Homo-oligomer: A and B are copies of this chain.
């Protein structure tokens, strides 16, 4: 159980309740959430992608029913379920098209299959958008009118919310902020998607490792060399650990990452102009709880102040996310709640 999860007793919760399901490459998180975003029950099951999408849909439905039963709740008190998955999708048709890291789940009608096994209508979304909605509902964005969440990890995902509107996009490709172009030149860095110059190609986890390797290959000294000599692979975590330990090269890499993020954020401020920007995901270099994380965030803010228009530069808040790995299922439940309320 995460520290961020506020778990309450059934006696405090009033229907309608909502199920949130967050599909990851390794685990699927399933929570039962009340109308205020509080968690009544939670279960994590292995994704076990190799068993196929139909089997996973069945297991999600069964696990969600278990969570509901274990909380002592009647299925009729659950209004709707929300489902967030990685990858490209066709949201209006509930289709998972090409899920990242789950190669054999392509072109699968996941929304309706999970709904079938669970016995509830399902609201479908991408995982980063669901996480964004979670932060907007009860996390760092709860006092914001409009918010952009940027999730930092192997990929850079995002969710843009303006008032009641989650920017899904006409073709289910909205809020893909990691694929905004920050360098149009032909020699710009290559992104995981095959295109060049995207924010993710500079500030995603693979880019962090690659930039480090380049500096080491150029002869820079670093305590990372000892790790490599011991057979370790470079990761953002090992770089963060060495940066926190005083390694100048590692620190430089982390601060450069912050700078690239600040650049991407400025473009979002000049198009969306949100109340605030929230940074989440696995790669926040320790986040608010570490000195390195706090310096990372301050470096992001510095780049934004340097580059953005005066008024938004002074007024736009930039904060870490608060819900950690729970944002996805909470936000999926929140999106289900929003659709339930629209009727």
Contacts and interface: CB of A to CB of B under 8 A. Distances in A.
Interface string A179-203: 1111111000000010100100010
A259 to B, nearest CB: 9
A311 interface: yes
A175 B312 CA distance: 13
Contact of A171 (B160, B307, B316): B316
> Within the oligomer, what is the number of copies of this chain?
2
Contacts of A176: 270-271, 273, 309
Contact of A180 (B193, B260, B271, B312): B271
A88 interface: yes
A202 B183 CA distance: 13
Interface string A144-165: 0110000000000010101101
A76 interface: no
A169 B198 CA distance: 24
Contacts of A184: 182-183, 202, 260, 263
Given A88-B311, A162-B167, A307-B195, A270 B172 contact: no
A224 interface: no
Interface residues of A, number: 48
A4 to B, nearest CB: 26
Interface in A287-319: 307, 309, 311-312, 315-316
Nearest to A185: B183
Main secondary structure of the interface of A (DSSP, over half): loop
Contact of A174 (B167, B173, B266, B273): B273
A158 B273 CA distance: 13
Contacts of A160: 271
A273 B316 CA distance: 23
A272 interface: yes
A31 to B, nearest CB: 28
Contact of A312 (B163, B168, B173, B268): B173
30 contacts: A146-B169, A162-B162, A165-B165, A167-B271, A169-B272, A169-B273, A170-B274, A170-B275, A170-B315, A170-B316, A171-B311, A171-B315, A172-B311, A173-B269, A173-B311, A173-B312, A176-B309, A177-B270, A177-B271, A179-B270, A179-B309, A180-B267, A180-B270, A181-B263, A183-B185, A184-B202, A184-B260, A184-B263, A193-B309, A267-B267
